[in-house]
Amino acid sequence: MKVCGVELKGNDAIVCIMSLQNGLFDIPKVRVQKVSIEDAADAEQVKKFQFTFAKLMADYHVDKVVIKGRALKGKFAGGPVGFKLEAAIQLIDELEVEILSGSFIKTALQKSQIDIDFRDTGLRNYQETAFSAVFAYMLGQV
pLDDT the model gives residue 142: 63
Q: What is the DSSP string of 102-134?
A: HHHHHHHHHH-S----GGGS---GGGHHHHHHH
**CATH 3.30.420.10 describes domain 2-139:** yes
Express each pLDDT in 9-62 by its tens digit. 999 999 999 999 988 899 999 999 999 999 999 999 999 999 999 999 999 999
pLDDT at 76: 67
**Could you write out the DSSP letters of every residue in 21-79?**
ETTEEE----S-SEEE-S-TT-HHHHHHHHHHHHHHHHHTT--EEEEE--BSSSTTBPP
pLDDT surpasses 90 at 74: no
Rounding to the nearest 10 degrees, give the CA dihedral for residues 96, 30, 12, 16: 60
The percentage of the chain sitting over the pLDDT mark of 90, rounded to a whole number, equals 74
Q: How many CB atoms neighbour CB 64 within 10 A?
A: 17
pTM of the prediction? 0.91
The closest of 94, 99, 106, 120 to 7, measured between CA atoms, is 99
101-126 tens-digit pLDDT? 999 999 999 988 887 888 889 999 99
